[in-house]
Structure 1
Amino acid sequence: MGKEPSLEDLERALALKRREVRLKRWIREGRLPLEASPPAGEPTPPEPPALPPDPHLHAEVEWEAPRWRFRLPRPRISWATWRDHLLLGVEITAVLGAIFLLLSSWQAMRPAASGEGPRATPTPTPLIPVLVLPGGHRPPTAPGEPAPNPEEIPEHLRALVASLPTPVPITPGPRSPTRIVIPAIGVDAPVVPGTDWEALKKGVGHHPGTANPGEPGNMVLAGHNDIYGEVFRDLEKLRIGDEIWVYAGSRAYRYVVVQKQVVLPTQVEVMAPTRDPVVTLITCYPYRVDTHRLVVVGELR
């Protein structure tokens, strides 16, 4: 068996190996030419003896510093942040919507700038149509000319009603009723605006503030039965299902009788507004007595 190398021999061999690796690295990096030789005066070390492979010894290898890559962390947006942004957007939208509605309302309330004149102030309606049904008068058998019957007004309100001014004539609108035709009783009469004493002298009156033909609501028409043409003289002869035609200009609306009743002059609830389009015809009753009212109701068909 050969002589095993000593510790000094191993250290010397390791130093030589390190020097060899270092020189190769310098040559590769251009720091030392290939012709370079060890510095003068330095003794050339003897060639180390061949050593058996030792698994515990590892030749020095070149080590390079790792290259570190730094990445900035991406900002994370939490759910709370998204929620705050969403709520802010909703609030801004609500505020803008409110401003839009206010501006729209303001524009709607402004008078038209197209030269339209100021609107006329509505004339107060006398209290008589509110307290008693229209069309009342003294019976023709009473002495003197036909006249309203003050006895129909509650006694404690007669002085107030007497002090009211004379109603101002009403100008009909484009959709106001202008004519009524009831084939079953031979009625074909004009319809005038208003149900005061002077209006009913001309024909059938359209009570102010009630519906127009074809509109939802209660259209109230009143007429005399025994004075000034007796336009509603035969109204009591109408039967359920009979037709009532009401015109607005050239357009006709067909109503069908669904109800007929006799009421007191103070039962003004028959003039109350309705959701459905109906017509209510009112006249004095009985004929030439006039202590009550005959009310006929028709529905639009």
Structure 2
Amino acid sequence: MTVRLIVRTFSELCLTVGTVIVLFVVYVMYWTGVQAQSATAGQIDILEREWVDRPVAETVTAAPPPEPYRAGRGIAVMYVPRLGKDWEWPVLEGTSPGVLKKGLGHYPATARLGETGNFSVAGHRRTYGDPFKDFPRLRPGDAVVLTDGTTWYTYRVARAPLRTVPTDIGVIDPVPRKSGFDGPGRYLTLTTCEPEWGSSHRLIVWAHLDATQPVTQGKPLALTG
């Protein structure tokens, strides 16, 4: 009788644990994606509504003075054609877990978009919409396009993704270490986790600003060609 009770209790425990594991996998692989889809769409909508009433310059040099970035608020929308024709993600200020559930995150200590220095952005490889799932596909010459509502910024990837450790913070320096850049410039750094379902390392991609144009001139060639 005691043996039967032990076996039954153990079986019920295994069933419970198995159910919890399945539910956790569903949450990680599916539900976080549903949450991210709603959150990112909401962030893009907020940005676009803010941009409607913003003065738009006819030339980049005539653009109004930039507003300070505010923690947790959207600052731009990013497009990477290599990762899909419909790949579109908001970039928010900060890299906290809460921010990265809503989109990509700008490292606050790095340069502003389009300015001299290193505009650095982090994103999830997996979960919360998998924004950088295909990060290893990026290649030299690929376009990374951003807009802040007044200007289009087209960056070009300088080299294939580099694998490094999380403590290698020099990758977001104004002139990033190991990037191959030999002096000050207008750079972009993208970072994500490596391996795909882990976080023991990081994958890094660097790019340099290739072109800018006001939004009044339409989308850049990198998005329409």
Q: What's the TM-score, normalizing by structure 2? A: 0.56
1:255 matched to which residue of 2?
Answer: 155
Q: Is the 8 A contact 2:72 2:94 kept in 1?
A: no
1:265 correspondence with 2:166:
yes
Q: 1 or 2 for the larger relative contact order (CA 8 Å, sep ≥6)?
A: 2
2:128 matched to which residue of 1?
Answer: 228
Aligned residues: 136
Q: Which has the higher strand share?
A: 2
Q: Which amino acid aligns with 1:212?
A: R
1:239 correspondence with 2:148:
no
Task: Using the TM superposition, give the Cα deviation of residue 286 of structure 1 relative to its aligned residue in structure 2, in angstroms.
Answer: 1.3
Distance 1:236 1:171 in 2: 27
**Candidates 191, 195, 201, aligned match of 2:101:** 201
2:191 matched to which residue of 1?
Answer: 282
1:25 matched to which residue of 2?
Answer: none
Q: Which amino acid aligns with 1:255?
A: Y
- CA offset digits 1:92-135 (Å, max 9, x no partner): xxxxxxxxxxxxxxxxxxxxxxxxxxxxxxxxxxxxxxxxxxxx
- CA offset digits 1:206-242 (Å, max 9, x no partner): 1112112210000110000111111111111011110
- Structure 1 runs of 4+ aligned residues shifted over 6 Å read 143-146
Mind listing any 5+ residue stretches in structure 2 that lack a counterpart?
Answer: 1-20, 29-69, 176-183, 211-225
**Candidates 156, 162, 178, aligned match of 2:76:** 178
**Larger Cα Rg: Structure 1 or Structure 2?**
1
Aligned residues: CA RMSD: 2.3
Q: Is the 8 A contact 1:204 1:221 kept in 2?
A: yes
Q: Is the 8 A contact 2:72 2:99 kept in 1?
A: no
1:32 matched to which residue of 2?
Answer: none
Mind listing any 5+ residue stretches in structure 1 that lack a counterpart?
Answer: 1-139, 147-168
- SS state at 2:163 partner: strand
- CA offset digits 1:171-209 (Å, max 9, x no partner): 65xxx8411000011221111111111000001111112
Q: Which has the higher helix share?
A: 2
1:210 matched to which residue of 2?
Answer: 110
Q: How does 1:9-158 map to 2 (within 5 A)?
A: none
Q: Is the 8 A contact 1:185 1:234 kept in 2?
A: yes
Q: Which amino acid aligns with 1:280?
A: T
1:299 matched to which residue of 2?
Answer: 208
Q: Is the 8 A contact 1:177 1:246 kept in 2?
A: no
1:103 matched to which residue of 2?
Answer: none
Distance 1:189 1:244 in 2: 12
Q: Is the 8 A contact 1:177 1:212 kept in 2?
A: no
Q: Is the 8 A contact 2:72 2:92 kept in 1?
A: no
Task: Using the TM superposition, give the Cα deviation of residue 257 of structure 1 relative to its aligned residue in structure 2, in angstroms.
Answer: 0.4
